[in-house]
């Protein structure tokens, strides 16, 4: 099939929920993808931060195929040692105490929201159920995580949204202190707003939020769906802020390309969710867990994390001398580029035409390359970007 045929067929049968780039990707290796005509692209997106180890990594493929050949699914009515292994590793890496496994970022966030409300209900009774999130945040596409998402453009069409969210301006400590009230049970934040334009929170704001939460027995919940799993140069981004979250949510890069999400909670919350209060059919699926186990065995090692930081610095350095680059933001291999000409969407589309996959977020260019991308692929990709940026 040609690209045009694929495109026309899609238009006939699929809901038009995505504004897609004009290519159909069919295979890949490392940080290089191939389209239906056999054309190659350097991939600075890893499927929006999902393919942590790139396309078809040898160890990852081995782990996944072995598991597919062993047992592909069991119901959560039965014990699964593989789920426990993944959970144990996540706890060891974070100091958290318990894990709920699910299939996506939105689901991990739904679990966090339920934990916050039940913790508060169990301890304080009804009426203390409000969750503070940040303006410009993104927490998912379910009706409740859309409500949690602090952007008016997402609060449309699907009324009524879930009640009980209020929004604080990121990095505005005064706004935080005036918005908090007696019915707040949790503060739920991304440390670097991803979809919001690769916007890091300031240390002062995060410290203020952590202090407020401690004083008032408000849960500090961190959405690490995009920042997590070594993306920002530490296993989770919260480590760089020196805080102790009560809840962490994770997904995207966790399975290296298979759908798995996780909601982690600390010891204080270990017994909040009881039998029958939450569940999922697919969550903790054995093949997804085998994939996550492989990812976790690789990306959390100190040498691996050092490489993520080095590659991030290398890319940032090269970007800073490119035409049309106004500002470079982010940490590790989560990188946002503000362009002089405010033409990120145009640049991203042109990059595809020239053999480079790159993301946007708001009016920024956004890079989320595979964590193990080679310097050769980085250089190839940056050369394409530089050429596109200079015209």
Ligand X SMILES: *Cc1c(COP(=O)(O)O)cnc(C)c1O
Instruction: List, in order, residues 6 or more apart from 11 with CB less than 8 Å away.
Output: none
Residue 222 C-beta: closest distance to ligand X, Å: 10
Position closest to ligand X via CB: 105
Over the window 250 to 279, marking each residue x when it contacts ligand X by CB under 6 A and - when it does not, the resulting string is -xx---------------------------
Identify the helix (H) or strand (E) that includes residue 109: helix 105-124
Q: Does 134 bind ligand X (CB under 6 A)?
A: no
CB of 48 to ligand X, least distance (A): 7
Stretch that binds ligand X, among 103-111, 197-205, 237-245, 362-370 (CB under 6 A): 103-111
Contacting ligand X (CB under 6 A), which of 176, 184, 225, 308?
Answer: 225
Q: How far is CA 389 from CA 26, 42, 44, 323, 341, in A?
A: 27, 16, 15, 6, 10
140 binds ligand X (CB under 6 A): yes
Of 100, 138, 238, 241, the one binding ligand X by CB under 6 A: 138
| CB of 41 or CB of 138, closer to ligand X | 138
Measured from the CB of residue 388, what is the shortest distance to ligand X in angstroms? 25
The one among 105, 256, 284, 330 contacting ligand X by CB under 6 A: 105
CA 300 to CA 244: how far, in whole Å?
Answer: 19
Question: Which residue reads 């993104």 in tokens?
Answer: 138
Q: Using the minimum distance from each CB to ligand X, give the nearer residue, 55 or 154.
A: 154
Tell me the two tokens of residue 155: 């609060």
Show contacts with ligand X in window 310-349 (CB under 6 A).
none
Number of helical H runs and strand E runs in the chain = 12, 17
Cis peptide before 264 (omega within 30 of 0): no
Q: Which is nearer to ligand X, 49 or 54 (CB)?
A: 49
Q: Quote the strand ranges of 105-246, DSSP E.
A: 130-134, 165-168, 184-189, 192-193, 199-200, 219-223
Cβ closest to ligand X, residue 225 vs residue 389: 225
For 328-373, the three-class secondary structure string (H helix, E strand, C coil) is EEEECCEEEEEECCCCHHHHHHHHHHCCEECEEECCEEEECCCCCC
**Residue 110 binds to ligand X (criterion: CB under 6 A):** no
- By CB under 6 A, name the binding residues for ligand X: 104-106, 109, 138-140, 190, 194-195, 223, 225-226, 251-252
């Amino acid at each position: 099939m040609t690209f045009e045929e694929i495109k026309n067929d899609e238009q006939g049968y699929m809901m038009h929920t995505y504004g897609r780039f004009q290519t159909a990707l069919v295979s890949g290796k490392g940080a290089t993808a191939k389209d239906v005509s056999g054309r190659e692209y350097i991939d600075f997106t890893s499927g929006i931060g999902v393919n942590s180890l790139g396309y078809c990594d040898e160890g990852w493929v081995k782990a996944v195929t072995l598991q597919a050949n062993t047992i592909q699914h069991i119901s959560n009515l039965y014990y699964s040692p593989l789920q426990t292994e993944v959970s144990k590793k996540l706890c060891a890496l974070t100091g958290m105490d318990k894990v709920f496994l699910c299939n996506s970022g939105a689901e991990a966030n739904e679990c966090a929201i339920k934990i916050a409300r039940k913790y508060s209900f169990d301890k304080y009774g009804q009426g203390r159920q409000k969750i503070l999130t940040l303006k410009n945040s993104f927490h998912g596409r379910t009706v409740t995580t859309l409500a949690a998402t602090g952007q008016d453009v997402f609060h449309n069409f699907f009324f009524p949204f879930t009640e009980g969210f209020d929004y604080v301006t990121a990095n505005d400590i005064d706004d935080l202190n005036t918005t908090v009230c007696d019915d707040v049970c949790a503060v739920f934040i991304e440390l670097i707003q991803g979809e919001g334009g690769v916007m890091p929170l300031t240390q002062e704001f995060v410290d203020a939020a952590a202090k407020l939460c401690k004083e008032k027995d408000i849960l500090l919940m961190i959405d690490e769906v995009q920042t997590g799993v070594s993306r920002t140069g530490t296993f989770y981004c919260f480590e760089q802020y020196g805080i102790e979250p009560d809840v962490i949510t994770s997904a995207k890069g966790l399975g290296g390309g298979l759908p798995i999400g996780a909601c982690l909670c600390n010891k204080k919350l270990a017994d909040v969710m009881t039998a029958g209060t939450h569940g999922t059919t697919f969550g903790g699926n054995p093949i997804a867990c085998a994939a996550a186990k492989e990812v976790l065995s690789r990306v959390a090692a100190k040498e691996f994390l050092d490489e993520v930081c080095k590659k991030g610095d290398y890319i940032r350095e090269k970007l800073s001398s490119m035409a049309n680059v106004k500002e470079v933001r982010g940490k590790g291999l989560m990188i946002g580029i503000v362009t002089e000409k405010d033409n990120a969407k145009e640049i991203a589309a042109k990059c595809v035409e020239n053999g480079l996959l790159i993301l946007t977020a708001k009016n920024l260019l956004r890079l989320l390359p595979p964590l193990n991308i080679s310097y050769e692929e980085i250089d190839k990709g940056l050369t394409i970007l530089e050429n596109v940026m200079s015209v």
